[in-house]
Amino acid sequence: MAVPAIRETEKKLRFEIPGSRRPSTYLTAIVLTLGGLGFLLAGLGPFLGINLLPFTNTLGLERWPQAATMLFYGVLALLFSAYYWMVIVLDVGSGYNEFDKEQRRVVIFRRGFPGKNRTIEIVHPLDAVLGLRVELKDGLNPRRHLFLKLKGARDLRLSPIGQPPTLAVVEDQASAIARFLNIGVEGI
C-alpha cells in the first residue's frame, strides 16, 4: 500500500490519500482483462470454426453448453475489467486531508464516480476539533483507523479505505496532526 505523503508548512498540514491506483487494483484489472479475453476467444472459436487461441484446440468444445458458457464468462470478466480500468482512470477514493491554520479550517476531500457527487469535500472549523482517536484491532481482519473528533458532529475518518496502513504510518500521522494542532490523541 502506498504511504500517504505528508506536506507540512508553518500554516498548513496536508496528507495525500491514495485512491484506487494501487498495485493490487492494477493486477486485478490485468488478470480480469487477460482471463476475459481468453475465455471470450475460447468460446468464440467453436462458433466461428476457427481456433482463435494459439497453442490450444478450442474447436473440440461443444457449442452448447461449453462454448456458450465460456463466452458468457469471458464477456462477464471483460465487463468487470472495464469497471476496474474506469476506477483506475478516475482514481476513485483519492484525495487529501488538510489542516489550515491560516484559514482556520479542516478539509477532507475525496474523489468519486462521475455525477453530481463526483467530489466530496467536508469542511469544519479548527475550533470544532476536540482531538484524535486511533482505532487499532489486530487479527484476521485488522483495523488501523485514525479519526478526527469534532464538537457536535460524528468523528471523521482520516484513514483511506482499503488495506489498513501500517501501525508506523498511523502513529506518524497521529503525531504530526496532534503536534500541528496541539491536541490530544486517544487510543494509542
Centre a 10 Å sphere on the Cβ of residue 57 and count the other Cβ atoms it contains: 9
Task: Give tens-digit pLDDT for 21-65.
Answer: 999 999 999 999 999 999 999 999 999 999 999 888 888 889 899
Q: How far from 128 is each of 12, 105, 107, CA to CA, in Å?
A: 17, 9, 12
Stretch 78-106: mean pLDDT = 96
E strands, 23-158, are 95-100, 105-111, 119-125, 129-137, 143-150, 156-157
Which of 96 and 10 is assigned the larger pLDDT?
A: 96
Q: Quote the pLDDT of residue 52.
A: 92
Stretch 63-77: mean pLDDT = 95
Centre a 10 Å sphere on the Cβ of residue 61 and count the other Cβ atoms it contains: 18
Q: How far from 63 is each of 53, 106, 124, 141, CA to CA, in Å?
A: 16, 61, 61, 44
Q: According to CATH, what is the number of the domain 6-19+95-186?
A: 2.30.29
Taking the domains of the chain in order of start, what are their residue ranges?
6-19+95-186, 25-90
Q: Quote the pLDDT of residue 83.
A: 97
Phi then psi dihedrals of residue 90, to 5 deg: -80, -10
Opening angle at CA 36, ends 33 and 40, nearest 5: 135
Rounded distance between C-alpha atoms, residue 107 and residue 93, angstroms: 15
Task: Give tens-digit pLDDT for 7-24.
Answer: 778 899 999 998 899 999
Stretch 147-154: mean pLDDT = 92
Give the least confident one: 6-10, 97-101, 136-140: 6-10
Rounded distance between C-alpha atoms, residue 4 and residue 159, angstroms: 9
Task: Say yes or no to pLDDT of 1 above 70.
Answer: no
In this prediction the pTM is 0.81
pLDDT grade, residue 164 (50/70/90)? confident
